[in-house]
Amino acid sequence: MTLHISLVGRKQLSVEVYRQVRDAIVCGTLRPDERLPASRELAADLGVSRMTVTVAFERLAAEGLVISRVGDGTYVTADAAGSRSNPRRRQIQGVLQPRHLWQSVPLPTAFAERARFDFRTGNPDVSLFPSATWRRLLVAALREQPLTERIYGDPAGHRGLREAIARHVSVSRGLTASPDDVTVTNGTQQALDVIGRVLLSKSDRVAVEDPGYWPPRRVFETLGARVVPVPVDREGLVIKALPRHVRAVYVTPSHQYPTGAPMTLPRRQALLDWAERHGAAILEDDYDSEFRFSARPLEPLRTLDATGRVIYIGSFSKTLLPTLRLGFIITPRSLQAAVHRAKFLADWHSAELPQAALARFINAGDFARHLRRINMVYRERHELISHLLARDFCDQLEVIPSGAGLHLATFARRASVDDIEAVANRARAAGVAIRTLASFSAGAQRRAGIVFGYGGIAALHIEEGLRRLRRCFSA
Ligand SMILES: Cc1ncc(COP(=O)(O)O)c(C=O)c1O
């Protein structure tokens, strides 16, 4: 290996030789056990005194990066790259530590894994995304609105998209909103982060559903709030279990995540009354209600809200693609300015080009057509799983009725939480990925059951996947 060292314009020549050789070792350009050039040769090459090179080599040896073998030469030590005495490595790892709570926040690595029969929840079928149309719309949006036209966009989002979303939620969800009420976000996740910043002070309490969707819990905790898990039954959140002094309640009323049960009308009314009495905000996550296979779902809580305490959150992650990172908040007027300011502080605004393409997609009727098409695909999977569970698992699992969304959940009739965990492990070995109901719990009350997602499995593979799962019960 020819070692390239440049001393042009440098003053402290020995320090410079030391620094450049050290960097070469740390970066792996010089490998363990590799021989360094002889000090005499290197000095001649560089046009410096031999002493300059010798001092540099001695310093490297003192730090354990090289070793001199008498009569042989100077070598990079075997453990130089990982050596604790390696100052650059210390610098790369860093001495700073995150706040304690960040150590327990998981990253959703599960999506990187693949399973042959994938019944995990949360993932739509990405092969249904209308790529060709989207490409065309991106090009059209770029043509109409060159990226160089403005410096920054509106933190509330692309005006055309806000108008399109306001119309879309009015038609599909019966929700009256003006474009000014809409803030475009990078998915539900950012919507919750922005709302949390606007509403929550340190140590405020936020009630969340249990079992429930874990990322909102973590968002609120990292903002300094105290999260209180509240049980869910077949009618939705158990209102009488809500603690006092709660600043906000996070719910998924259209299709409870993960039980799939819609919140009944009396329960919705009770939640609104409760929030009114306690001065709490309601964060309504309507993440997958566009998929409906039975009667029209109940209208959002937001449509029943007479006092402006419901904040509605929608997402295009399930209907289009999670990687688009497009979602929105419909905010009561009283919070509008603060939400726009919080979105600005978070990331100024979401990327404009995909927003402009989505506005076209909705306005041209492509979104409504796309929803009809994917609804048919998911309806078939939903019906097939419901049918097979009723036929082959009725002694083991009780299906929780739900006519919407991308998953359906079951309670175990006899098996315990641990039994179901063992079934899930055996299933994994047989190429079948499922989520246990207990894995969605935040509190002590864990219920035994299985949740079946069907975004990640084609109808064609469902029967074989469930057949393999069935065998895992009797093992
Ligand atoms: C309950 C719930 N809300 C929202 C989302 C979507 O989040 P995002 O819009 O950040 O992709 C998901 C995704 O799995 C979810 O399960």
Q: What is the DSSP string of 424-437?
A: HHHHHHTTEE-EEG
Q: For residue 211, is the peptide bond before it cis, meaning its omega torsion is within 30 degrees of 0?
A: yes
Residue 165's nearest CA partner among 406, 380, 331 is 331
Cβ(140)–Cβ(360) below 8 Å = yes
- Long-range contacts formed by 138-141: CB under 8 A, 24+ apart: 138/353, 138/354, 138/357, 140/357, 140/360, 141/353, 141/356, 141/357, 141/359, 141/360
Give burial (CB, 10 Å; 0-12/13-18/19+) of 365: exposed
Q: What's the gap in Å between 79 CA and the centre of ligand 1?
A: 45
pLDDT tens per residue, range 382-439: 999 999 999 999 999 999 988 889 999 999 999 999 999 999 999 999 999 999 999 9
CA-to-CA distance for 384 and 374, rounded, in angstroms? 15
* Residue from 257, 311, 319, 454 whose mutation best tests the ligand 1 pocket (most atoms within 8 A of CB): 257
Q: Angle of helix 187-199 relative to helix 214-222, nearest 10 degrees?
A: 40
Q: Which residues of the chain have pLDDT under 50?
A: 84
Does residue 322 line the site of ligand 1, with CB under 6 A? Answer: yes
Please report where in the chains the tokens 């079928």 appear, as a residue.
125
Give every CB contact of residue 56 below 8 A, 6+ residues apart in sequence. Answer: 14, 15, 17, 18, 21
- pLDDT number for residue 292: 86
- pLDDT number for residue 82: 58
Which residue's CA is minimally distant from atom 6 of ligand 1? Answer: 188
DSSP 8-state symbol, 35: B
Give burial (CB, 10 Å; 0-12/13-18/19+) of 363: middle
Residue 386's nearest CA partner among 401, 372, 405 is 401
- Residue 191 CA: nearest ligand 1 atom is 10
3-class DSSP state for residue 68? strand
Two structure tokens written together for 71: 């009569």
Q: What's the gap in Å between 426 CA and the centre of ligand 1?
A: 28
- pLDDT number for residue 410: 97
- pLDDT number for residue 181: 97
Two structure tokens written together for 186: 């990078």
Residue 76's nearest CA partner among 33, 26, 21 is 33
CA-to-CA distance for 278 and 272, rounded, in angstroms? 10
Which residue's CA is minimally distant from atom 5 of ligand 1? Answer: 287
